[in-house]
Chain A
Amino acid sequence: GNSVTQMEGPVTLSEEAFLTINCTYTATGYPSLFWYVQYPGEGLQLLLKATKADDKGSNKGFEATYRKETTSFHLEKGSVQVSDSAVYFCALTVGTQGGSEKLVFGKGMKLTVNP
Chain B
Amino acid sequence: SAVISQKPSRDICQRGTSLTIQCQVDSQVTMMFWYRQQPGQSLTLIATANQGSEATYESGFVIDKFPISRPNLTFSTLTVSNMSPEDSSIYLCSVERGANNEQFFGPGTRLTVL
Contacts and interface: CB of A to CB of B under 8 A. Distances in A.
A102 B42 CA distance: 14
Contacts of B48: 96, 98, 100, 102
Interface residues of A, number: 21
Given A102-B33, A102-B48, A97 B40 contact: no
Interface of A: 4, 36, 41-46, 89, 96-98, 100-108
Interface of B: 4, 31, 33, 35, 40-45, 48, 50, 56, 58, 92, 94, 96, 101-108
Contacts, number: 51
B58 A102 contact: yes
Contact of A108 (B42, B101, B102, B105): B42
Contacts of B33: 102
